[in-house]
Structure 1
Amino acid sequence: MWYGVFLWALVSSLFFHVPAGLLALFTLRHHKYGRFISVSILLMGIVGPITAGILTSAAIAGVYRAAGKEMIPFEALTLGTGQTFCVLVVSFLRILATL
């Protein structure tokens, strides 16, 4: 049960981070240190869902198991992409707070 939520969170995170990393690589390719920003964006797209995504997916699956409910694949899709959406919202709000 947790595996489905985790995979959707990972795939949806990569869906947003890979284009952002490629855009950063393309625009900062001539900068001395800026090209490494794209590597950090790609790493955040992979490491973030692996560490936090496993924990939150396991917590969601634990609630479903304790309630005795079965999880259909659409619920796993919704919960996994919802995790990515929450991370994106927090990321954008954090940037705007520093301006």
Structure 2
Amino acid sequence: VIQIARELGIEVVETTIQRAALYLADELFFTGTAAEITPIRSVDRITVGSGKRGEITAKLQEEFFKVIMAERPAPFGADWLTFIHDTEEKKTASAN
């Protein structure tokens, strides 16, 4: 996600922030293996920004899903995907 952001010209800063800073954010998102890129709409019942997915989150999601769906290459030539193809042997074994 950081690579995608940089490729899109979005400034990336990795730092520790205070919880109160979350309340002031224009937009927030979670990212991870299961979460992929998921907008955060509220923190402690306080609405983040407009309460909707932000513009930056939308751009990152769009490009992220293009990469994982193999519709475009990963940024900077990274190899993000490992394709698993069924062999004839596996297909035959599972049919029996």
Normalising TM by the smaller chain, what interval? under 0.3
Say which structure, 1 or 2, has more relative contact order (CA 8 Å, 6+ apart). 1
TM-score, normalised relative to structure 1: 0.25
* Higher-strand-fraction structure: 2
Larger radius of gyration: 2
TM-score norm. by structure 2 comes to 0.26
